[in-house]
Amino acid sequence: MFTPGVDTWLTRWNPDFTKARAARGWLGMTIPAEYGGQGRTFMERFVVSEELLAVGAPVAAQWVADRQAAPSLLAYGTEEQKQRFLPGIATGEISWAIGMSEPESGSDLASVRTKAVRVDGGWRITGTKLWTSGAHRAGAFFALARSAPLDPAQRHAGLSQFIVLLDSPGVQIRPILSMSGDHHFNEVILDEVFVPDELVLGRIGEGWKQVTSELGFERSGPERFMSTFSILAAMAEEIREGRQPADARIGALVARTFGLHHMSRAVSEALGRGDDAELGASVVKVLGTKTEGDIADLVEELAGEPEAGDDHFAELVRAGVMQRPGFTLRGGTSEILRGVIARGLGMR
């Protein structure tokens, strides 16, 4: 049992629920059976993920691992890496984080300053990653680092990805607390962390290509428009029970969410085929995260101070308003993604 929440793919970390998901085959759904997964399609995973988010289930513990780490390992990992990490993702035994954003780069990933220096048997990684969700509970993360000097004419060249075990010497994780005092994000400091050659993800120098593919998974899933769905559902129940007056704007947000469902589903199908989904994923992210915030704002406006005794409804509304500022920032800001969309449409 669980109490429905808001933004639960980020904020609700429940190892027991994670184990229950794994036992039902709801983790590692797209991981092949030979690596401990279910061998199912991206669309089947989409359906399960959307339903879990719709009821506000506590799914944060394996969200990044299942959404991004597993597809990246399948696409770019060595056979040894797949055998080492994929079974643990499918059983919920290892959680992952993603090390992309930095203090002075934000969504402009081509400007990362984390450096990877070649040494005997591997690489030394030095730099700082910022806003890394779940790093304090994760066992590993993908770190994007510059493995060759910056070429101003080709800013995306010379980037590589590394699998960093977060208990390695030289790794320091500092909490970043939200306005509510919650701890979901982190600053991860890498001080000459040694990464052996067998933990290089993909090919040296092809990090940008890999990250672009990875971001398609991060930006297009149902979590990009379902984070506040539990508030919308609760408000609909309040209206049905006569505790709140009907308002056409609630219906409009339901319709918008339904449209985003179809858009996100189409991107999931494209990713399953191996198609380039950067444009579609960016559109879903921009429109979806705005919708999440609009839901929180409208319900707060309509409900005001929820009636005494309905503590859960009040908590959902408060949580949505508190989480709202981060919706359009994480996974790439809306400003950056509008540029991606413009380029994809040939407008710049």
Last residue within a domain, chosen from 76, 94, 112:
94
**306 phi/psi in degrees, rounded to 5:** -55, 155
Say which CATH number the domain at 167 has: 2.40.110.10
Give pLDDT tens digits for 180-204.
788 999 999 999 999 999 999 999 9
- Most confident by average pLDDT, 103-117, 128-142, 263-277: 128-142
* Residues 202 and 254 placed together within one structural domain of the fold: no
pLDDT score recorded for residue 153: 78
261 assigned to some structural domain: yes
Which residue is associated with the tokens 């990090």?
A: 207
* Residues 113 and 187 placed together within one structural domain of the fold: yes
Q: Helix or strand or coil: residue 272?
A: helix
Is-catalytic flag, 192?
no
The number of folded domains in the chain is 3
Which residue is associated with the tokens 């929820």?
A: 306
86 assigned to some structural domain: yes
**130 phi/psi in degrees, rounded to 5:** -125, 155
* Residues 58 and 149 placed together within one structural domain of the fold: no
What is the domain range of residue 113? 98-206
271 assigned to some structural domain: yes
* Residues 128 and 237 placed together within one structural domain of the fold: no
pLDDT score recorded for residue 305: 61
* Residues 103 and 18 placed together within one structural domain of the fold: no
H/E stretch holding 41: none
Give pLDDT tens digits for 51-73.
999 999 999 999 999 999 999 99
214 assigned to some structural domain: no
Last residue within a domain, chosen from 94, 122, 139:
94
pLDDT score recorded for residue 106: 60
pLDDT score recorded for residue 344: 86
* Residues 85 and 154 placed together within one structural domain of the fold: no
Catalytic residue among 50, 102, 214, 218: 218
1 assigned to some structural domain: no
180 assigned to some structural domain: yes
Whether the model clears a pTM of 0.85, i.e. scores above it, the answer is yes
Q: Is the pLDDT of residue 159 over 90?
A: yes
Q: Is the pLDDT of residue 307 over 60?
A: no
Give pLDDT tens digits for 215-271.
788 888 899 999 999 999 999 998 999 988 899 999 999 999 999 999 999 988 888
* Residues 123 and 230 placed together within one structural domain of the fold: no
Q: Is the pLDDT of residue 334 over 90?
A: no
- Which residues on adjacent β-strands are paired with residue 142? 98, 163
